[in-house]
C-alpha cells in the first residue's frame, strides 16, 4: 500500500525510565515516524523496550515508569498537531481508542471474562460516541465484529466461550471500533497456532488496505515482520539500532544485531543459517 509522506505519529528523542533504587532506562533517545497506511514492524528480543515504547506512545505507563524526555506528536487528519505528552486526563481519554488504539498481549486477559462481547463493544461506543442511539450501537457492533471475520451471533458470547483466534479477532474489532488512525498491536498472534496466526495476519493486512489506518506491529518474530511490514525498526537494549524497508533489511541488514536476528531463524530448505547471507559473522556490540 502506498503511504503518505506526511507522518501520522512522530516520536522524537524519547527516553523512558523505570524508577527504582537503581533506575533502569528501558527506552533511550528513540526517534521514528509512522506514516498513514503504513505497517511499521518493531522487532527485538524480550526486554529490549518494544512494549515500553508502545505504552509510551499511548500514554499508558504507570509508576515506576516515567517518560524522562522527548516528544510524541500525533498529526491528526484534521490538520491539528496533538502533543500527546501534554494532554490532560480528559483529552487523553478522548484521544485513546478514537485517534490511537492498542491490541494488548493476551486477549483473554484483555477481555472482561464476566461480560459479553456485545456489552464490551457497547461500553466503548457509549463512552466515546454518546450521540449514538441503541440501534446504532447494535448496528455498529455487529458490523465491526463481522468485518474481522466473526459471526455477529457471537456478540452474545462470553470470552471463555470463544477460541483463542476469535478472542484475538474481538480485540482487533474493539481496537478499530472508533476507526482510529493508528493501531498498535503488541504481539497479537502470540500463543496462537500457526494456521490461526496466518489467518489473523491476513485479516490485519486486509483491514489496513480497506480502512487505511497505520499499524505498529510488535513482535520478536523478524521473519513474520519481513512478510507483512512496509518498514521495520529493530530495537536492542532500549535503542532503535536499525530502521529500513523490509526489502532492504532482508537483503542488506547493516547492524550486527539485526544480522544475528535474521540468522537465528533456520530456513525450511537448504543449509542451516541460510535465511540471510551477510558475508561474515556478525560482530559483538561494543
| Domain match, 60 and 184 both | yes
| Domain match, 146 and 20 both | no
Residue 19 lies in a domain: yes
Domain span at 260 = 1-99+180-286
Residue 56 to residues 14, 17, 44, 188, 221, Cα–Cα distance (Å):
9, 11, 17, 18, 22
What's the number of domains the chain is made of? 2
Domain end: 162, 179, 196, which one? 179
Choose the weakest-confidence range: 97-111, 216-230, 238-252. 97-111
Residue 280 lies in a domain: yes
| Domain match, 128 and 16 both | no
| Domain match, 157 and 129 both | yes
Residue 105 lies in a domain: no
pLDDT at position 139, please? 97
**284 or 237: which leads in pLDDT:** 237
| Domain match, 48 and 175 both | no
Residue 72 lies in a domain: yes
| Domain match, 11 and 75 both | yes
d(CA 91, CA 80): 14
pTM score? 0.88
pLDDT at position 2, please? 53
Q: How many Cα atoms within 13 Å fall on the side-chain side of residue 284?
A: 1
Amino acid at each position: 500500500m502506498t503511504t503518505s509522506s506526511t507522518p501520522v505519529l512522530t516520536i522524537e528523542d524519547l527516553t523512558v525510565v523505570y524508577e527504582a533504587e537503581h533506575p533502569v532506562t528501558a527506552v533511550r533517545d528513540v526517534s521514528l515516524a509512522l506514516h498513514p497506511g503504513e505497517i511499521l514492524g518493531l522487532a527485538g528480543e524480550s526486554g529490549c523496550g518494544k512494549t515500553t515504547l508502545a505504552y509510551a506512545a499511548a500514554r499508558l505507563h504507570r509508576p515506576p515508569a516515567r517518560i524522562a524526555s522527548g516528544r510524541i506528536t500525533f498529526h491528526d487528519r484534521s490538520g491539528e498537531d496533538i502533543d500527546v505528552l501534554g494532554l490532560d486526563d480528559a483529552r487523553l481519554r478522548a484521544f485513546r481508542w478514537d485517534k490511537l488504539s492498542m491490541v494488548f498481549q493476551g486477549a483473554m486477559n484483555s477481555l472482561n471474562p464476566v461480560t459479553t462481547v456485545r456489552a464490551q463493544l457497547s461500553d466503548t461506543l457509549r463512552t466515546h460516541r454518546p450521540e449514538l442511539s441503541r440501534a446504532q450501537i447494535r448496528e455498529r457492533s455487529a458490523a465491526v465484529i463481522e468485518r474481522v471475520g466473526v459471526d455477529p451471533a457471537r456478540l452474545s458470547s462470553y470470552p471463555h466461550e470463544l477460541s483463542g483466534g476469535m478472542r484475538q479477532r474481538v480485540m482487533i474489532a474493539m481496537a478499530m471500533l472508533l476507526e482510529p488512525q493508528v493501531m498498535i498491536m503488541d504481539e497479537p498472534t502470540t500463543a496462537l497456532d500457526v494456521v490461526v496466526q496466518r489467518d489473523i495476519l491476513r485479516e490485519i493486512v486486509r483491514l489496513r488496505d480497506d480502512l487505511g489506518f497505520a499499524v505498529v506491529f510488535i513482535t520478536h518474530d523478524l521473519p513474520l515482520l519481513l512478510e507483512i511490514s512496509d518498514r521495520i525498526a529493530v530495537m536492542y537494549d532500549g535503542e532503535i539500532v536499525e530502521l529500513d524497508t523490509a526489502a532492504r533489511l532482508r537483503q542488506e541488514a547493516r547492524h550486527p544485531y539485526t544480522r544475528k536476528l535474521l540468522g537465528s531463524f533456520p530456513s525450511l530448505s537448504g543449509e542451516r543459517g541460510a535465511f540471510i547471507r551477510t558475508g561474515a559473522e556478525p560482530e559483538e556490540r561494543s
